[in-house]
Structure 1
């Protein structure tokens, strides 16, 4: 049965090129993850705030090394795209941004982020999310990006609002977290590119 529409993005859009390093405002850089980042990520996941909003804990640096390898492979498999957020001058890790739930044919993905404790309240998540959103919508041609966060996670809601992700509604009991089921705010941004015929 033939399709009546062309894919928004074709297979190979990501995998046929190296994952880019993206500049961000405020002397930040979004770069592909490296094996040497494992110890720093492990430390972040010892933070109680991370345990509050994430379903995953890190038991060892070696385990986190496996995560980083999976994040690298996800680019080649066009399932997800993960970046480390770092200080452009010192290289110090400040956070992570990612596109999850990639659907190239539909041109959609879900934005995710976290920051290290010392970077919170400094606009790191906002600047990194803006840089990723620009790359995805304006440079690469994604059509729609979604951003989900627990309703009670007010810091994530502020990031979504400050980066232009409009609140579309609430998904009831949509995410199971360590303390039970959470309602989730759904935000979204849509690109301005004209669809291909």
Structure 2
């Protein structure tokens, strides 16, 4: 399956909220089970006006079916990326292909020196995705990071951006 990253539409909000409530997504991301469609649409509005943020819905290029969420945020010369894949699309290589595409867009859009990715320490699938997308593990298990007011056991990864000319 060929994938494509496309901009979020307001009409995608119900799908996003429904998919984000998946137990595995809630376990391994900062998504809230109480997220509402209105809150997501407000987040989309902020995203569209933020020069330091990129966010896309990953779709099946042929069928247009929504598969995943992927985003990047920049602070100075470092970008951080995040993603989740809808349950029906897991195990098909969606995250890896989308992550590689997002990293290219980050490199082409911003003058960053590093791209970072944090995974929950127990999320082995996401760690494999990061490594297959060229990220290098920088910490082992046991490190914690405060994310949205919660202490999370994390592994973090980094890679240098590769710009296309």
Contact 2:29/2:120, CA 8 A, preserved across alignment: no
1:21-69 deviation digits (Å, cap 9, x = unpaired): xxxxx42111111101001101102211121123323443223222222
The alignment's TM-score, normalised by the length of structure 1, stands at 0.73
Contact 1:149/1:185, CA 8 A, preserved across alignment: yes
Q: How many residues align?
A: 160
1:145-187 deviation digits (Å, cap 9, x = unpaired): 0111111111110111110100111472213589x63221111
Contact 1:87/1:93, CA 8 A, preserved across alignment: yes
User: Judging changes above 3 Å, is the alpha-carbon distance between structure 1 residues 103 and 176 closer, same or farther for their aligned structure 2 residues?
Assistant: closer
Instruction: Give structure 1 stretches of 5+ with no counterpart.
Output: 1-25
User: Judging changes above 3 Å, is the alpha-carbon distance between structure 1 residues 46 and 167 closer, same or farther for their aligned structure 2 residues?
Assistant: same
Establish whether residue 84 from structure 1 lines up as the match of residue 54 from structure 2.
no
The alignment's TM-score, normalised by the length of structure 2, stands at 0.85
The structure with the larger Rg is 1
Instruction: Give structure 2 stretches of 5+ with no counterpart.
Output: none
Give the CA RMSD over aligned residues: 2.2
Deviation (angstroms), 1:116: 0.6
Structure 1 counterpart of 2:39: 63
Please give the residue correspondences for 1:101-140 in structure 2 after superposition, counting only pairs within 5 Å.
102-104=74-76, 106=77, 108-137=78-107, 139-140=108-109
